[in-house]
Amino acid sequence: MFRLAHISDVHLGPLPDVSYRDLASKRVLGYVNWQRNRRRHMHDAVIDTIVADIKANTPDHLAVTGDLVNLALDGEIEMAKHWLETLGSPHDVSVVPGNHDAYVPGAFDKVCRSWAAWMSGDGINTPVDRNAFPYLRVRGNVALIGVSTARATAPFMANGFFMEGQAERLGKLLDAAARQGLFRAIMIHHPPVRGAVPQHKRLFGIARFNKIIRRHGAELVLHGHSHLPSLFFIGGRGVRIPAVGVAAAGQAPGGKHPAAQYNLFDIDGEKGNWRIRLTRRGLTGPSIPPSDLQTLELGVEVAMAAS
């Protein structure tokens, strides 16, 4: 059995010092949003509690599906690197970037340089850039495939993009993993599901992604972005592939979104007969840790069709 943990939308805080020059961009809107909203509802104590519970459940691997930072300031990107180091070895932690990680032009390239160890495929020694996605890592009988939908967008927009070049590369990786008889788990920030988020946050390329999934197959899709513990099914021709979202890892109780949770997948079986057990663990009380350390556990059996 392989145990895979999944978190997303960490939004590490607090913000480092921000200069007027930093705010001469889309960042000014994000800064106002942080001061009015996220600062009150995104807390390091919450993240620490979630991470401690993850480690107590001893997963074989941890998937982080984006939005580690808020405004993609240089100080935030460096802080996120140090935080990733506390999670575990890059061998045991895989990351894909979110829209906040590519908040302004140039930020995506800085993230790729700083977090490269957690966003590199097996045996790949070249620098990580936009063309390095998707990447492939094999751990046990599981293929972890990291897709990037992150791109700097206009003010008030938080869209993702899944374009033809990446789609073609994804199909090849899915086929290669299938030939090895591996369970294929795709990590992506924006949900590849219509209606999962408002229009200004949606993924451009949902149809393209689903076409690749129908043609090449997959067993599991992990996403973030919505800040919701969701479960959709995508695919076709009798194959229903679970696409699983998760509450934001730093979300304190009392906000408009569910309090912080993480997903825990127990994966067993073999090609054509995979079995997944999804458990959601997260905060249930009305206050911020450490005063409230309760967790909830919900077991969900996801039946797999042959692919």
Q: What is the pLDDT of residues 113-162, one digit of tens each?
A: 999 999 999 999 899 999 999 999 999 999 999 999 999 998 888 999 99
Nearest to 283 by CA among 243, 250, 307: 250
Nearest to 205 by CA among 155, 149, 124, 131: 149
295-303 and 273-283 beta bridge pairing: antiparallel
Instruction: Give the tokens for residue 42.
Output: 């995104």
**Total domain count for the chain?**
1
Distance in angstroms (rounded) separating the CA atoms of residues 129 and 144: 18
Cα separation values, 228 from 32, 172, 263, 289, Å: 23, 31, 11, 20
What's 215's DSSP letter? H
pLDDT, tens digit (0-9, with 9 covering 90-100), for 205-227: 999 999 999 999 999 999 999 99
Residue 29 has pLDDT above 90, yes or no: no
- Mean pLDDT over each residue of the chain, to the nearest integer: 86
Q: Which domain holds residue 274?
A: 2-303
Domain harbouring 120, CATH code? 3.60.21.10
Kindly indicate the confidence band of residue 88, based on its pLDDT and cuts at 50, 70 and 90.
very high
Nearest to 192 by CA among 265, 242, 256: 242
Residue 288 has pLDDT above 60, yes or no: no
Q: What pLDDT is stored for residue 149 in this prediction?
A: 98
Sign of CA dihedral 111, 113, 114, 117: positive
What's the mean pLDDT in 282-292?
60
Q: What is the pTM of this model?
A: 0.88
pLDDT, tens digit (0-9, with 9 covering 90-100), for 150-196: 999 988 889 999 999 999 999 999 999 999 999 999 999 999 999 99
Helix axes 206-216, 164-179, angle to 10 degrees: 20
Residue 222 bridge partners (DSSP) = 187, 244
